[in-house]
Structure 1
Amino acid sequence: RSNGLRADLAQMVADMKPKFIRFPGGCFVEGNTLENANRWKKTIGDVAERPGHWNLWGYWSNDGFGAYEFFQYCEDIQAEPLYVINCGMSHREQGFSRLPDAKSQYKVNVDEYLQDAMDFIEYANGPADSKWGALRAKAGHPAPFNLKYMEIGNENGGPIYNANYEKFRSAILAKYPKMRLVACDWTGSPDKKYLDILDEHYYDSPGFFFRSANKYDSYDRKGPKIYVGEYA
């Protein structure tokens, strides 16, 4: 495909026959500040006109592999797309989210990020004559991509995230009741009775993983499903 992944890397992933692909990965989603967070609307259209951005790891991303290319790749290898959307938090907001005055310091317009999520679902699944579905059709894919899974934030936690997650959850499910939403468990998670899938990340020593071999044996089978999205 034009503007696709490097062929050898794309084939390597395809050979593993993944059932789903999570994108964008990790802290690329939130950035150090919201100024260098990933915003999907800047990753579609003519590659030459995409603004790109400095990412968390200190190098420039031209966003040539954007939302549209992600969906194409998932189609090519028959994997379900799991898209991670920014919930109005960067590392900066996560850093003060547990302070006593966290909510008074939080000045982000969450509705802007919620609208991004709603628009993304329309871009993925909306009819070709809808505002965002029309851009998908113009790019060459009039049929919906049939997005089923969306993750709200990456490695976010605390009272700000919990409030933002609930706002996203309520709005998305009100319009798209079949959407499967994934929440972060980063030193705590939102109220589990409202969760469908919970994403746990672990970066620890080999000993930790040996000791945790039976970690999930005692998890409540009636609780949210667990997805370990990152570990090393």
Structure 2
Amino acid sequence: MLTLDNINSLYGKSHVLFDVSIDVREGEIVTLLGRNGAGKSTVLNSILGLVPNVIGKIKFNGISLVGLLTHEIVELGVCLIPEQRDIFQILSVEENLQIAQKGNSQWEIKDIYELFPRLEERKKNGGGQLSAGEQQMLAIARALLNGPKILLCDEPSEGLAPVIIQEIVSTLQRIKESGIPILLVEQNLRVCEKLADRHYIFEQGRVIHEFKKDDFLSPESAAIKYKYLSV
């Protein structure tokens, strides 16, 4: 569905990604793991055409993304939930949802309120009045209303309380069950272990290891996780 083949990404003279090859298949959640600065978010930005110089092949459903403008990539169904959430602070929850709704989306606002009852309770509140967890729910909701064919999620659990993280995990599982694959950048290993079918570990802009779900949970993987993922 989504494939990156020997991608090299550069910001000016700064070479950030080196020969990165990953893929996301239908019905999967795939995580990108690694310490800060390992290149994970640059992968997402490269897919979306936000990196000035990308060398290699990026294809989504057989269509080459390299050289396309960001809005053209989004029109193909590639949707980002950014780390900063980027909701409209001065608009109400419902207004944030209304401007995101696309006619071809399988999700409608009523579905969003079923998924996130808290957003319905606060639908008249401004985006800036929401808690961090509620803003994350709103960011996910807006992405779904855009009619995504794949979701790119950047650190969805960052800064959230454990009870809210569990709610976000359940939501991402439901999204996967609806048929939308997810490429997930995440630091919380427990979240990754619960959600993902496969994992890529990054170090200094390179893919160091790839794990299937069961292999990632095995005792044999502990030393690798400690070496590349521990703080």
- TM-score interval w.r.t. the shorter chain? 0.3 to 0.5
More strand by share: 2
Higher relative CO (CA 8 A, sep ≥ 6), structure 1 or 2? 2
TM-score normalised per structure 1? 0.34
